[in-house]
A and B are shown apart, each in its own frame.
Chain A
Amino acid sequence: MLAACGIPMLGYSWPEGSSSRQTACDVMEGARIRWLVGYSPGGGYDAYSRLIEPVLERALGAKILVDNIPGAAGIIAARTLANAPADGRTLGIIDGPGLLLANRRRVASAPDLQTELVPLGRVARLHPMLVTAAGSGLMTIEDLLARARSGFLVAGVTATVSQNFVNCAVSAHLLGIDVRFVTGFPGSREVLLAIIRGDLDFTSADGESVRSEVESEKLVPILQIAREPFGLYSAIDGVPMLAGEEGITARRPDLFASAGSGSREMAESLVSFTSLGRLLVGPAGLPAQLRLCLEEGLSSALGGPEFRASAARAHRSLAVASAAEVRRELATAASAITRVLPVVEEAVREVR
């Protein structure tokens, strides 16, 4: 289907073995693919899935059914995906850092991203930022530190298995801030409302999801959990980054004195972990030719102008990566999580 339609294969060629791959692709023609999403409709994972659905259908010649299986921070869908037959009929989108964290923290049923699932590509990165309320007087990291000197700060998250919890816990550890967590909010929007109401001091949120609130000056971004500026919109230009040569851990080591000499490494590890992004995966054990067919199908679908136009219209940023790139980043992230995990475990113990 792909070659027959003359669709350009971004970053791929059709060398030896292409005929068996073509056979594998022919198998997918007319097939029904169940596309699992571990979150409810209305959120980012659902939106990306519905953007991918029509272009991937055309690329593979298959029929895709988006199936939302919300619950347990996406773990139920990920487990369902990992248990599905490796025949290409069940694929899905996952929160890479979230699943990696859940598995490393031995959350029941969370599949291992490296052995029980196989990455087929990435559609977008996340853009985690620490945010405060406009009326809180916490406009910068320095304000946060000043407030912390007079007592503890309160952060809110949905769950201790969320990557927003990791972002808040590790950032607080680096800054030497005493933080009390309120967990269990039903969703990230509820956390943001609690921030705006003044019930909480800060949280971590995706920069893209809070654009309205930031542009309308209800929320204030004070730190980008990144090495380079997200550059999503002008209101977050100039917000300091955590890691990298231009990051605040490199330029203002005095702010991170309490974390000791390892603060830069810790910050780099956090960014490596969070930048894994929204991954497209299938169950482990996919036959090699079928896996290549699916990788190429996704690459073709996500690289096309139609998908890019749809994503732009939906105000969704893209950071498309091939399966090979994702595997490399996954190895880095898996190593990075081991560095931040003790800090996270300590924060979890305090919550309990």
Chain B
Amino acid sequence: MVFSWPNILYPVAGTLLAMVFSFLPGLSGVTLMALAIPLTFQWQPLPVLLLFGALVGGATFMGSATAILLNIPGTAPNAATMFDGYPMARQGRAKTALGCSAAASALGSTFGVLVLVALIPLLAVLVPLLGPPEYLMLAIWGLTTIATVIRGSVLKGLAMAGIGLMLSFVGFDPRSGAVRYDFGTLYLQDGLSLVPVFLGIFAVAESIDLMASGRATISGSTRLDQLGGSAIEGVRSVFRNFGLFVRSSLIGTVVGTIPGLGGTAAAFVAYGEAARSAGSGGHFGSGDIRGVLAPEAANDAKDGGALLSTLAFGLPGSAGTALLLSVLTLHGIRPGEQLMTAELPLAFALIWSLFLSNWLSSLVGLSLVGPLSRLTVAPTSRLLPPILVLAAAGAFAYRGRLADVWLTFSFGLIGYAMKRYGWPRVAFIIALVLGPMFELNLYLTLSLQRLGRIQVWTRPAFLTLAVLLALTLWLARSRTGLIGRTIRPRARSDGKSPPKPEKPLEGGGE
């Protein structure tokens, strides 16, 4: 049905369009979906689902390309890729990072789709198993990674995490509905918007740093043939770290089912898990390929998880699936039992379209690795003005609010100061992303437990996550201790000796 003519045109066209849109920060595939809704209003459901499945899946890779090359996340979930992707670009290894990102995206989405297909018969039983206690445990899991990613002063790292948590509490209190820390402004009532903060704290801050450092190009090289690494090397790194890939994809699929925050949280939790499992043997934040692999695999695997809850319960797990839900309802398709039984062929059309678009975008992305990596040898004097314009445009296009542009540049200055004086930005960002998920689910869990409606210690999913969390913390601790005692710095995960981190990264403490 999907691969027949002319049906195949819809996912192909949707993927290519989504790739173009998602290369422009702020103008993600979600923007394209919003624009496409009225245009497809009179279409039959099948072509609509094929097109929109591709728009959901086709946007992710290009968003990570800007994150790696320019330190600008195409979408919020791509932010975690910047932590190691951009340092790799600065070390002249953009091709390796892009290759790894493309392969991890394609394979991660395959993982998510396979899980989704396998679980369709069990959906009604499985999804309700995940409630506030399980989401709380995932949030704690993510937050504990801060301990792993902090470099340099622990005190500074904890302070930044605390500030990140504090800022994540701006807006409505989930318990009472009262507004907190809004300073009487409407703008802050719904909390700090993540995209402008990401754009500021990374893209703008990095641009200021490049200007201040007088660096000629992002990579330090002026010719393409001076760049190291290759796309193939990046692809190979996924297979070399296959265990990490599977773990990250699993995290992405599970966290992807969480409404609202799924994609972003998935990438950050996976990144943290990769950093923790590497122990002292990693150089996360300084260009570790695993820091690209993990969030990219999780980010694409999350589409399977997000689709799972969207199709079965009408609970969108990401911005893309929220618009998809809108399209489904407009065409008279109700998520739930009917879609998963009588209209199952339509559900599968959507799933295959998502699968196809993820692969297509990764293959096209791989073919573009060469031209894209030219950006890292372009003179910064020419590159920085467009980066700053793109950051401003992305911030404005995100919600159409001018205040978001001011927020971006304010956090740009703050981010530069953090980097300059060694206050870790990663700890701040992880806390900011996971804070609301932690607070809300802590409150719901405690309320339900206090009222005697749940017993967390009798919930299998909660117990499983608790054991996994304890196990990973113990492993991380024992590895760190072991390495500290006996093991010398080991070879890099992609087979090369670790590069000496650049001075700005040392200064950033990341």
A contact set with B: CB distance below 8 Å: 40-43, 46-47, 50-51, 53-54, 66-72, 75-76, 79-80, 107-109, 152, 154, 159-161, 180, 182-187, 189-190, 193-194, 196-200, 211-213, 216, 310, 313-316, 351-352
Q: Which residues 61-75 of B sit at the A interface, judged by CB distance below 8 A?
A: none
Docked-complex contact B451 and A154, CB < 8 angstroms = yes
Contact A313 to B315, CB < 8 A, known contacts A71-B190, A76-B189, A193-B131: no
Residue B34 CB within 8 A of the other chain: yes
Contact A184 to B440, CB < 8 A, known contacts A108-B179, A190-B259, A212-B337: yes
Q: Which residues 329-357 of B sit at the A interface, judged by CB distance below 8 A?
A: 329-332, 334-338
Report B-chain residues with C-beta under 8 Å of the C-beta of A314. 329-332
Docked-complex contact B330 and A50, CB < 8 angstroms = yes
Contact A352 to B176, CB < 8 A, known contacts A47-B329, A315-B332: yes
Residue among B128, B172, B191, B447 making CB contact with A197, cutoff 8 Å: B128
Contact A53 to B332, CB < 8 A, known contacts A41-B326, A182-B448, A193-B313: no
Chain A residue, CB-CB nearest to B324 = A42
Report A-chain residues with C-beta under 8 Å of the C-beta of B131. 193-194, 197, 199
Residue B371 CB within 8 A of the other chain: no
Q: How many residues of B contact A (CB 8 A)?
A: 51
Docked-complex contact B444 and A216, CB < 8 angstroms = no
Report A-chain residues with C-beta under 8 Å of the C-beta of B440. 184, 186
Docked-complex contact A212 and B322, CB < 8 angstroms = no
Chain A residue, CB-CB nearest to B447 = A182
- Per-residue CB contact flags for chain B residues 425-456 toward chain A (1 = under 8 Å, else 0) read 00000000000000010011001100101100
Would you give 21 A-B contacts (Cβ < 8 Å), ordered by A?
A40-B316, A41-B322, A50-B330, A51-B330, A71-B171, A72-B179, A159-B177, A182-B451, A183-B175, A184-B443, A185-B444, A189-B314, A193-B128, A193-B313, A194-B131, A194-B448, A197-B131, A212-B337, A313-B331, A315-B329, A315-B334
Residue B323 CB within 8 A of the other chain: yes
Docked-complex contact B323 and A47, CB < 8 angstroms = no
A sample of 17 more A-B contacts (CB under 8 A), given A75-B189, A187-B315, A189-B315, is: A41-B34, A53-B38, A66-B34, A72-B171, A161-B177, A182-B444, A182-B447, A187-B260, A189-B313, A193-B128, A193-B315, A197-B131, A212-B334, A212-B336, A212-B338, A314-B332, A352-B176
- Per-residue CB contact flags for chain B residues 145-187 toward chain A (1 = under 8 Å, else 0) read 0000000000000000000000000011011110100101010
Chain A residue, CB-CB nearest to B45 = A313
Q: Which residues 174-220 of B sit at the A interface, judged by CB distance below 8 A?
A: 174-177, 179, 182, 184, 186, 189-191
Residue B240 CB within 8 A of the other chain: no
Docked-complex contact A184 and B332, CB < 8 angstroms = no
Chain B residue, CB-CB nearest to A108 = B179
- Cα distance A2–B175 in the bound complex, in angstroms: 49
Chain B residue, CB-CB nearest to A42 = B325
CB distance from B219 to the nearest CB of A (A): 39
Chain B residue, CB-CB nearest to A193 = B128
CB distance from A312 to the nearest CB of B (A): 8
Nearest 10 pairs of A and B residues by beta carbon = A71-B190, A184-B174, A42-B325, A212-B336, A41-B326, A42-B322, A41-B323, A216-B337, A159-B177, A42-B326
Report B-chain residues with C-beta under 8 Å of the C-beta of A67. 400
- Cα distance A109–B171 in the bound complex, in angstroms: 13
Docked-complex contact A54 and B41, CB < 8 angstroms = yes
Residue B399 CB within 8 A of the other chain: yes
Report A-chain residues with C-beta under 8 Å of the C-beta of B175. 183-184, 351-352
CB distance from B80 to the nearest CB of A (A): 22
